[in-house]
Amino acid sequence: MRGVNETMNKIRVLLIDANILFRSGIARLLDSQPDITVIGETEDCLEAIRLAKSLEPDVMLLDIEINECDGPTLVRAVKKQLPDSRLVVLTTDCDADTLLGCVLAGADGYLQKNITPEALFAHIRGLTHGEAAMAPATTAVLMKRLAMSNCTLCLRASPNPNLTSREYEVLSLVARGMTNRRIGALLDISENTVRNHLGSIYHKLRLSNRLQVAVYSVTHGMVDFDSAG
């Protein structure tokens, strides 16, 4: 266990993955960064909940393809213990219903394991500033799959959000995995204004994070990836 003084100013990460070689590799990569440290790792569902409670990580990276483990149930259990910790699904692939289950349970991001180390570092840092871990290219593919699938789950949100035209613009860019900085640059508004619009969107949709907003927008036909670049 690392000392308190060593980790207090770093982003503290918990790894939950059945592949010990992958965990070890990710741990080494993250620990190579001056502002990120891995404080624990496990391949077991119950141990993941125990470690999350005892270590109180800032970020958790979870592969939901763990034997005898239901991804959405684990996400819900961990987020119930630590609602302010950021939990990201980091996996090779998952079906639309499983992803929606994780989103409903409170997951803050979805990334595939073929992500570059630099992109992973950037997403982890962004999570601590209210961003979602959503790679634009992966998000586009994923959202198209959601739009074409017959998902059995549905986000419990307002059916008539009455968003403003600007809020629709922000929502569309969030669905494409854009950061607040990028959204601000594209719309020629400040990052603070983007955050204000997001707060209004969360309130109107009755949702709690930008990954939920992204999935909601696609599953409810509010964003069309086929007609946009």
How many CB atoms within 10 Å of residue 66? Answer: 20
All domains of the chain in start order, with CATH: 4-134 (3.40.50.2300), 165-219 (1.10.10.10)
Enumerate residues 6+ apart whose C-beta is below 8 A from 118.
none
**Secondary structure (3-state) at 187:** helix
Neighbouring C-alpha atoms within 13 Å toward the C-beta of 213: 31
CA 55, chain centre distance (Å): 20
Q: Is 140 helix (H, G, I), strand (E, B) or coil?
A: helix
Rounded mean pLDDT for each run of 10 residues along the chain, 229 residues in total: 60 94 95 97 91 94 82 89 91 76 86 90 88 71 66 63 91 85 94 93 87 80 60
Strands (DSSP E) found in 146-199: none
SS3 222: coil
Helix axes 210-219 and 165-175, enclosed angle (nearest 10): 100
Residue among 118, 103, 111 nearest 133 (CA):
111
Closest among 23, 90, 82 to 57, alpha carbons compared: 82
pLDDT at residue number 1 = 46
The predicted structure's pLDDT at residue 136: 65
Both tokens of 170, joined, read: 């922000």
Given this model, what pLDDT does residue 38 score? 97
Q: What is the largest CA-CA distance in the chain?
A: 52
- Confidence at residue 111, expressed as pLDDT on a 0 to 100 scale: 87
Write the CB contacts of 47 (distance below 8 Å, at least 6 apart in sequence). Answer: none
The pLDDT assigned to 229 comes to 45
- List of residues 6+ apart from 112 with CB closer than 8 A: 90, 91, 92, 93, 135, 138
**Stated pTM of the model:** 0.79
Tell me 93's DSSP state. -
